[in-house]
Amino acid sequence: MRSIYDVSAPAKLNLFLHITGRRSDGYHLLQSAFMLIDWFDTLHFDLRPDGGLSREDLSTPLPSDDLVLRAARALQAASQCPLGAHIGIEKRIPAQAGMGGGSSDAAATLLALNRLWKLDFSLERLIHIGLQLGADVPFFLGGRNAWVEGIGEKMTPIDLPPGQFLVLKPDEGLETRLIFSDPGLKRDSETAILSGFAANAFDFGRNDLQVVAQKLCPGVTQALLWFASQGLTGRMTGSGSAVFARVLHEVDLASVPRTCEVKLCNNLEAHPLLGWAKSKGVSVDSL
């Protein structure tokens, strides 16, 4: 039986990720390009009139208090809504991969419950809530591929040509905290400009976190070496252990290391839930 809402939550890839500095509060300043891909979690939402919030894991077991439930509680508190929800999750995007699976699920939860509870919160108001849940949540709420700056809060929508990407996720995951606390992390990349990226989007820059990640996770190096054996230039996405490359010719998928999950993906022009919350054209900072 179908739920009231059955929604898709896509993963993302960082086409590049440069660290350009560090603020006095310890947060790192970055530049990146976030691209949506067709690797999805699926979330099912049903109304609970008693105000309760419950979650059912339909595939991979999740932590007892994950970002989905935190997003639901945050929206419930912000709206003072007396309604609740039962949420079923088919988890397919791997964890600690740098693909934003948890943040994408949280964004989908905010958008779906905004409709289920008939709140009519604006996109800006949802983004304000999402910022408190994680740096990547506003990107998934925005619904477009984006040029990202600051600590992840400054986003400019971008258009990207269609492309096919092979993603390898080693068994090991990576903790963001360990990478960003490493003294060997490069933190002084030159500031790039959007026009320079646009001229060569799929081959631009690098991931400054990759060198540190390779020290912490041998699977990253193994995946990169496999891509090289296929004549492809692999790159780590985000701060996780997944590695990807754009595919322009046939590759030998049978030779992929057995320790890696592999998926051939296409990029998306827009998020499947784009338009589920209307923009009021106001600054998030003013909310």
Which residues are tagged catalytic?
Answer: 12, 136
Residue 150, sorted as left (phi over 0), alpha (psi -120 to 50) or beta, turns out to be left
**How wide is the angle at C-alpha 242 spanned by C-alphas 129 and 62, nearest 5°?**
50
- The single residue listed with the structure tokens 């891909």 is 37
Choose among 212, 210, 243: nearest CA to 226. Answer: 243
For the beta carbon of residue 78, count every other beta carbon within 10 angstroms. 16
Indicate the helix (H) or strand (E) that contains 130: helix 123-131
| Residue 186 phi, psi dihedral angles, 5° rounding | -70, 125
Query: 11 with 40: CB under 8 angstroms?
Result: yes
Look up residue 7 and give its DSSP letter: E
Residue 179 CB-half CA count within 13 A: 24
Query: 278 with 13: CB under 8 angstroms?
Result: no
For the beta carbon of residue 60, count every other beta carbon within 10 angstroms. 13
Q: Which two tokens stand for residue 29?
A: 């300043």
- The single residue listed with the structure tokens 């009021």 is 280
Choose among 241, 219, 246, 220: nearest CA to 231. Answer: 246
Query: 130 with 152: CB under 8 angstroms?
Result: no
